[in-house]
Amino acid sequence: MRNKPVPRFPHLWKQIEQAWAFIGGDVNLTCEVDANPPAKFEWFRKNRLVTVRDKAAIHEPHRSILQLHANNSIVFGDYKCRATNRLGKLEKFITLQQGVQPDPPDVVRLHETGRHTISLTVEGPDMTNRTIAASMLPSGYRIQYKATEENLDWDHAATADFVKREDNSYTLEELDKDTMYEMRVATRNLAGISEYTNSSIFKTSSATLAATSQFTLLVFLSCPIAFALIL
């Protein structure tokens, strides 16, 4: 059935949206539609067409992503996405606002290990002493992890995002048993992520029952790599 561009997910669609980034950070602006024939996507800034030469863009049959790096404050402002086919068009407006990069977590503590899981307790940072909007307070964490035997760089490590929990407990699942994993943690907010903590190494259990660590690791950016071998 042929149709002009319409919202791909109507229950999530907002014609006018807000996005945030901080100086030095990256942000993706996303526009998604359903259209047959497929829509042509174009991005505009101050009524000027944004070309791929100016910024990086990813175009897919139903989605376009404009990737921006906030080198300076000039990048902030209003953007428009236009999706067009011969039957019509759909426009979406996104205001990119300047936010604040969050601080890294204050504490990372190994909570529990299982054969295929590792649970971390992550706390902080306390940003209440900074003059920032409530929308810039930490909303969660990003954990990067990789098996030490794979010798991967961090660009190819696995990533898991978590919403901030009251119990401060975050579990990585589907890990290999009896395997050492190197991990590092960053704080997330609406504007992006913090610097990562220095990495720590934890080991999944070889036994059926989980083993709980008996130590606490305070992670500061100035600390060396810490190793935790679970007996």
Residue 200: how many other CB atoms lie within 10 Å: 21
User: What domains can you pick out in the chain, each with its CATH number?
Assistant: 6-98 (2.60.40.10), 107-204 (2.60.40.10)
- How confident is the model over 130-163, as pLDDT tens digits? 778 888 999 999 999 999 999 899 999 999 999 9
User: How far, CA to CA in Å, does 101 sit from each of 76, 121, 174?
Assistant: 15, 22, 31
| CA proximity to 100, closest of 121, 66, 128, 80 | 128
- How confident is the model over 46-63, as pLDDT tens digits? 889 998 665 688 888 899
226 has pLDDT over 80? no
Mean pLDDT of the 88-105 span: 96
Q: What is the mean pLDDT of the chain?
A: 88
User: How far, CA to CA in Å, does 108 sit from each of 145, 176, 197, 218, 231?
Assistant: 14, 21, 9, 6, 19
| Residues listed for the chain | 231
Prediction pTM value: 0.80
pLDDT at 41: 95
Q: 99: which 2 tokens? A: 């936010």
Which residue did the predictor score with more confidence, 226 or 10?
10
| CA proximity to 188, closest of 123, 119, 136 | 136
- How confident is the model over 163-209, as pLDDT tens digits? 999 999 999 999 999 999 999 999 999 999 999 999 999 999 987 65
